[in-house]
Amino acid sequence: MNKIDTLITVLGWEDRFITGNKILLDKYNINNIILIIFTDYLYMRNMQSNKALIEKKANELDIRITYLNLNYSDSVGNWKILNNFFKNNLSQSILINTTTFPRETIWTLLFFLKNNKKRVYYSYFKPKKYNTNWLTKNHKNPRLFLKHSGIFKLNNEITLFIITGFDKNRMQLLIDYYEPQNIVIFNQEGNQFENEKRNNINNIDRSLDIDIVNINNYNVDSSIRIINKKIIEYNDNNIILVSHGPKLSALSTYKCFLLSNMEIALAYVPAKDFSPYYSSGTNEDYIFGELSLNNEL
């Protein structure tokens, strides 16, 4: 592996933000941190203390921090800020710690990086436990991702590809909003984090035409192959691809968007409120990999 110059991470309030980033900084001899801060969520518990801790760690290792202030509710404004920044700031080698990234921001970042990068490194830290009460609430209407709305084929059916997660009403919002003729559910395999109990596949109206596919979202390369195979199978349809579940699924879905030559659409369901106790603890056996940013497998 080549030397990693820059770590890109999003300030978060979870335990795994500070624990995970400290592990990466100790291991990869990084020179720069790009710290993305969503200023409208700075009020969340531990945000100020986690910011101070990452600054202290960077100071100890003589690492420079560049701050990017975004607003979670301003997609267009965030797009402009990231566009302006990455026009003039590109390191030789970039590691994206996806752990606390919003999906939309991962996609936006990959859009700008792919113009100048052949590949990026990624990491992801699982928590020890997710909150059993609620994770997100007050969901907004589904939206297509800016500049990634696909090529609509007139008179062809709409097929909704959904990578599932734990928030039950997000899936129903998608189905009600897009009214697809077909639904392909990518169901996270295994029972980690009580997945089989909490995964909202159990709440789908089974009268709909549903194709259920088991997938391991923690394995990005495998997920890309499985999703891409289904895209080819439903190629005549208008495909809307939605990433819920582990944040790594934002990487596999974006790669599949590139493989489709941008014919499919990327969509997501924004949330207004996030649990201050979203997760606890950090699994230090983290996931690390490399993602190519071209339209070939």
Q: What is the pLDDT of residue 265?
A: 98
Q: Which of 61-65, 127-131, 159-163, 217-221 has the lowest mean pLDDT?
A: 127-131
Domain that holds residue 114: 6-130+279-292
Query: Taking 80 as the threshold, does the pLDDT of residue 53 lie above it?
Result: yes
Regarding whether 259 and 206 lie in a shared domain, the answer is: yes
Region 5-13: mean pLDDT is 97
- Beta carbons of 65 and 89 less than 8 angstroms apart: no
What are the tens digits of pLDDT across the range 236-292? 999 999 998 889 999 999 999 999 999 999 999 988 899 899 889 999 999 999 999
Tell me the CATH number at 241. 3.40.50
* 94: confidence class by pLDDT, cuts 50, 70, 90: very high
pTM: 0.93
In this structure, the answer to whether residues 140 and 256 fall within a common structural domain is: yes
115 and 154 assigned to the same domain: no
Same domain, 126 and 147: no
Q: Could you tell me if 45 and 11 are in contact, meaning their C-beta atoms sit under 8 angstroms apart?
A: no
Q: What is the mean pLDDT of residues 95-124?
A: 95
For 139-181, what is each residue's pLDDT tens digit? Answer: 889 999 999 999 999 999 999 999 987 666 788 889 899 999 9
For the cut 90, the answer to whether the pLDDT of residue 88 exceeds it is no
1 within some domain: no
Q: Which helix (H) or strand (E) holds 10?
A: strand 6-10
- Clarify whether residues 122 and 249 are in a common domain: no
43 with 101, same domain?
yes
Task: State the pLDDT confidence band at 187, using cuts at 50, 70 and 90.
Answer: confident
Q: How are beta strands 94-97 and 6-10 bridged, if at all? A: parallel
% of the chain residues with pLDDT over 90: 74
Q: Are residues 159 and 228 both part of a single domain?
A: yes
The sheet carrying 119-124 orders its strands as 64-70, 32-38, 6-10, 94-97, 119-124, 287-292
